[in-house]
Amino acid sequence: MSSAATISPAGGALIELRGVSKTYGSGAAALNALSGIDLSIAAGEFVAIMGPSGSGKSTAMNILGCLDTPTTGQYLFKGAHVEALSRDQRARLRRRYLGFVFQGFNLLARTSAQENVELPLLYRGDSAADRRVAATRALQSVGLGGWEGHTPAELSGGQQQRVAIARAIVTNPSVVLADEPTGNLDTRRSHEIMGLLLALNRDQGITVLMVTHEPDMAAYARRMVSFVDGRVARDEVNPHPITQAPQATQLAGSV
């Protein structure tokens, strides 16, 4: 068993968790979701976060995504103490630096792909012209050029997740947090999505943190962190990560 401290990310840490614990409830009803987590992640890493249900991996991801705060311990992002930020400050950090991809896509049903991708820019206050250009570029980058006007009901599951990834990267984030991004997809579409995440990490230098319970999806990551009972049970480099996506991932707009 190795600890997170045994890995020294090159170039210094982008993200650090120091002794992070999270407790829900109090007294006899208290639930310790995390118990003194130490984790260091460098810019440009591709990390798979794994573990059984109730292991703490989702709680850790929520804290990393500034959606929750630790009960004790420190969370540093680019050296800033996130646990000391206000709710509004954490929201600004999310908008500027983080992109999110979810298992359920979380697209607005009656809204076009273009408009779904523009949403983070709308919240940020960008002009309509800038939003349109950026969203079109993001959709093209995930192989959906020409699909801008289609609603989720007119897209396959794989295409919907491509739209979700375009939405995650349209703000040029430093980090993409992907929570079971292939959980609702068949094998072929799963590898297509992993190919896209791999390309974002390799070609654009985006740090990817992915929660998954699927070993064949985790195989794309260069590092694997496993949680058990609220602790990091294993933190190791993947000696043979998948470095080239299957050819199917190159099919733009695959259905």
Render pLDDT for 160-213 as a digit per residue (tens, 0 to 9). Answer: 999 999 999 999 999 999 999 999 999 999 999 999 999 999 999 999 999 999
| SS percent in the chain: helix, strand, coil, step 5 | 40, 25, 35
Q: Would you kindly state where each structural domain of the chain is located, as residue ranges?
A: 45-69+91-250
pTM of the full predicted structure?
0.88
- Rounded CA gap, 199 and 193, in Å? 10
Over residues 90-114, the pLDDT tens digits come to: 999 999 999 999 988 999 999 999 9
Select from 48, 93, 53 the least CA-distant residue to 69.
Answer: 93
Angstrom distances, CA of residue 162 to CA of 93, 99, 147: 24, 13, 11
Residue entry with tokens 């609702």? 184
**Three-class SS of residue 1?**
coil
Category of 224 on φ-ψ map: left (φ > 0), alpha (ψ -120 to 50) or beta: beta
Contact between 103 and 179 (Cβ < 8 Å):
yes
pLDDT on residue 246: 66
CATH topology of domain 45-69+91-250: Rossmann fold (3.40.50)
Select from 248, 47, 244, 46 the least CA-distant residue to 158.
Answer: 248
- Rounded CA gap, 36 and 148, in Å? 45
Select from 38, 40, 39 the least CA-distant residue to 10.
Answer: 40
Select from 175, 171, 170, 168 the least CA-distant residue to 65.
Answer: 175
Residue entry with tokens 């599951």? 157
Over residues 122-145, the pLDDT tens digits come to: 988 999 999 999 999 999 999 999
The mean pLDDT of 59-83, rounded to a whole number, is 95
